[in-house]
Amino acid sequence: MNYMSSVLCAAMATSVLAGCDPRETGAVGDPELAERVRDEFVHAWNGYVLHAWGHDGLNPVSETYYDWYDASLYMTPLDAFDTMLLMGLDDEALRAKQLILENLSFDHDFTVQLFEVTIRILGGLITAYQMDGDPRFLELAVDLADRLLPAFESPTGMPYWGVNLRTGETTGTVMNPAEIGTLTLEFGALSRLTGRPLYYERAKRGVMAVYERRSEIGLVGTTIDVETGEWIDTESHITGRIDSYYEYLLKAWLLFDDEDFREMWETSIAAANRYLPHEVESGYWYGHVDMHTGERTATRFGALDAFMPAVLGLGGDGDRAARLMDSVYKMWTTFGIEPEQLDYVTMEVVSPAYYLRPESLESAYYLYRLTGDDRYLQMGRTMFEAIVANCRTESGYTMLTDVTTMEQGDRMESFFLAETLKYAYLLFAPPETLDFDGVIFNTEAHPIRRTW
Ligand code: DMJ
């Protein structure tokens, strides 16, 4: 049993989530449904190939493409590549690999968002290198990371929002815990793979600067000025702008054996578990509070918050994981598909879109792998079938503008192929498809293996 497994098993021994090895939990999946997920992945990828080839992504209704910046950074093929390898789609993977290696360049005079480019592109390249073995993926990752490093040159060590890939000029002093804290797995893995500690040191210094500014009761706020170190928005929660801060505290400890991260994770999750949970008639939720007083500021929960059962489960807190997952599923089934945000007291939609997000399926996958409980398999089935029924188009899959009407929008985010369909596939596929205990997924579902 490796280190990660033993940490997890030790933690789980005290929780209701018993068992660590999926074969021991009896989690056999649903191989027929896994095949269907694979077919739907191919359908979505073919839409990209036909209408958006070489661009960042597909608009599946208008059958057009989009790019985030003035030139493509090949987000969809990079995000999709390791899913193809896991699904055994070797021809598709080879075409994606050729497209990336023949065309991808980071020598562009434009500013990119540090967080998004790190989780999707740097993360995609690192896993591509680990799974495929071609050193050109690692060379691209190093080139990208070197161009991103100037972002960390702030007075506090917390990175700026964006950086110009060619000039290194930085932009954006208002940042948040998620965008600062969700860089350590990618920069840390690169340090281990290259023997250059600088990447990890820079990313870690940024997270520690956030952690050191936690409130007297141990919580972090929504936005912070990276030059002054002052909090701007002091609302605390687990939704966007804070969410993966918690995820990476835990995962950096597990991936790198770094005791500093263990301490940061244990302190931070204890505060979150003390002040955020809210038991109301509709169930058990994690809401919003003021970071200084702990007073309730909002009763909102949403699609992004649904990552939390997975992280709680991975951290060994089976009881909270199971209870929160029931609420996640209720959020999904109340409307047929989860909304971006709801008020869990009134159960009314606050923000009605569904962006093809993965977090609910991700949590179903983790809890199924950790417990072998068929309830999670069934939850995943319901979610996958709802996505097929409502988001499928002739040329791919689209986001919905409103889950109360199921009106379709016109956008397929790259994380649909990186995460949503990957977690669905892994949930239903035989456990040996991926050794769950041997990898740590980055927040874009790129599995990172501790090869060092
Ligand atoms: C993805 O880019 C990542 O999962 C990120 O952590 C949150 N947003 C999307 C998916 O919803």
The alpha carbon of 1 and the centre of ligand 1 are apart by a number of angstroms equal to 30
What would the DSSP string read from start to end of 253-310? HHHH--HHHHHHHHHHHHHHHHHSEEEETTEEEE-EEETTT--EEE-EEETGGGGHHH
Residue closest by Cα to atom 8 of ligand 1:
304
In ligand 1, which atom is closest to the CA atom of 304? Answer: 11
pLDDT the model gives residue 349: 98
Q: How far is CA 51 from CA 48, 70, 71, 83, 358, in A?
A: 5, 18, 17, 20, 24
- C-alpha to C-alpha distances, 451 to 200, 326, 433, nearest whole angstrom: 16, 36, 18
Is ligand 1 within 6 A of the CB of residue 444?
A: yes
Pocket test of ligand 1: the residue of 119, 120, 351, 355 to mutate, having most ligand atoms within 8 Å of its CB, is 119
| Cα–Cα distance measured from residue 91 to residue 84, given in angstroms and rounded to the nearest whole number | 9
Q: What are the φ/ψ torsions at residue 449 (nearest 5 degrees)?
A: -110, 140
pLDDT at 7: 42
Say how far apart CA 136 and CA 256 lie, in whole Å: 24
Measured in Å, residue 359 CA sits from the centre of ligand 1 at 8
Q: Could you read off the pLDDT tens digit of each residue along the chain, which spans 452 residues?
A: 343 444 444 444 433 334 455 446 778 899 999 999 999 999 999 999 999 999 999 999 999 999 999 999 999 999 999 999 999 999 999 999 999 999 999 999 999 999 999 999 999 999 999 999 999 999 999 999 999 999 999 999 999 999 999 999 999 999 999 999 999 999 999 999 999 999 999 999 999 999 999 999 999 999 999 999 999 999 999 999 999 999 999 999 999 999 999 999 999 999 999 999 999 999 999 999 999 999 999 999 999 999 999 999 999 999 999 999 999 999 999 999 999 999 999 999 999 999 999 999 999 999 999 999 999 999 999 999 999 999 999 999 999 999 999 999 999 999 999 999 999 999 999 999 999 999 999 999 999 999 99
Comparing CA positions, the residue from 248, 220, 246, 218 lying closest to residue 233 is: 220
244: CA distance to ligand 1 center in Å? Answer: 9
Q: Given ligand 1 and candidates 186, 357, 360, 383, which is best to mutate, with the most ligand atoms within 8 Å of its CB?
A: 357
Give the integer Cα–Cα distance in Å for 206 and 209: 5
CA distance linking residue 248 with residue 178, whole number of Å: 9
Evaluate: CB of 340 within 6 angstroms of ligand 1. no
Beta carbon of 338 within 6 Å of any ligand 1 atom: no
Measured by CA distance, the residue closest to atom 11 of ligand 1 is: 357
- Ligand 1 pocket test: pick from 415, 420, 446 the residue with the most ligand atoms within 8 Å of its Cβ: 415
pTM, entire model: 0.96
> Within 13 Å and on the Cβ side, how many CA atoms surround 236?
26
Q: Is 31 helix (H, G, I), strand (E, B) or coil?
A: helix
Query: How far is Cα 290 from Cα 282, in angstroms, rounded to an integer?
Result: 23
Q: How far is the CA of 14 from the centre of ligand 1 (A)?
A: 30
Task: For ligand 1, say whether the CB of 446 is within 6 Å of any of its atoms.
Answer: no
Centre of ligand 1 to C-alpha 414, Å, is 10
Q: Is 301 a pocket residue for ligand 1 (Cβ < 6 Å)?
A: no
Q: Residue 24's pLDDT is what?
A: 63
415: Cβ below 6 Å to ligand 1? yes
Residue with tokens 């007075």: 155
Per-residue pLDDT, 27? 81
Q: CB of 360 closer than 6 A to ligand 1?
A: no
Q: Which residues pair with 407 in a beta bridge?
A: 402
Distance from C-alpha of 313 to C-alpha of 393, rounded to nearest angstrom: 34
For residue 446, give both structure tokens: 């790129």
The answer for 133, left when phi > 0, alpha when psi is -120 to 50, beta otherwise, is left
CA distances from 424 to 36, 149, 313 (A): 10, 34, 18
Which protein residue has the closest C-alpha to ligand 1 atom 10? 357
CA atoms within 13 A on the CB side of 291: 22
- Distance from the CA of 88 to the center of ligand 1, in angstroms? 24
Distance (angstroms) between ligand 1 centre and the Cα of 57 equals 15
Tracing tokens 């977090």 back to the chain, one arrives at: 359
pLDDT in the model for residue 9: 46
Which residue stretches of 183-258 are H helix? Answer: 184-194, 198-212, 243-256
CA distance 250 to 229: 24
DSSP classification of residue 438: G
Strand, helix or coil at 54?
coil
Cβ-contact 238, 246 below 8 angstroms? yes
Gap from CA of 443 to ligand 1 centroid (Å): 6
Is the beta carbon of 443 within 6 A of some atom in ligand 1? Answer: yes
Helix (H, G, I), strand (E, B) or coil at 340: coil
pLDDT in tens, 360-384: 999 999 999 999 999 999 999 999 9
Q: Is 64 helix (H, G, I), strand (E, B) or coil?
A: strand
Which string of b and e fits 101-140 if b means at least 16 CB within 10 Å? eeebebebeebbbbbbbbbbbbbbbbbbbbbbeeeebbeb
For 24, other C-beta atoms within 10 Å of its C-beta total 11
- Identify whether the C-beta of residue 76 lies closer than 8 Å to the C-beta of residue 417: yes
CB distance 184 to 200 below 8 Å: yes
How much is the pLDDT for 114? 99
Ligand 1, closest atom to CA 445? 4
Q: Which residues, 6 or more positions from 314, have their beta carbon under 8 angstroms from its beta carbon?
A: 8, 250, 251, 254, 366, 370
Give the H/E segment covering residue 406: none
Residue with tokens 């072998």: 372
Instruction: Identify the residue whose tokens are 């969809």.
Output: 76
Nearest-atom number in ligand 1 for the CA of 244 is 6
Burial 374-396 (b: 16+ CB within 10 A, else e): eebbebbbebbebbeebbbbebb
**To test ligand 1's pocket by mutation, which of 121, 305, 419 has the most ligand atoms within 8 angstroms of CB?**
419
pLDDT confidence of residue 26? 72
Q: Which residues are catalytic?
A: 116, 243, 340, 359
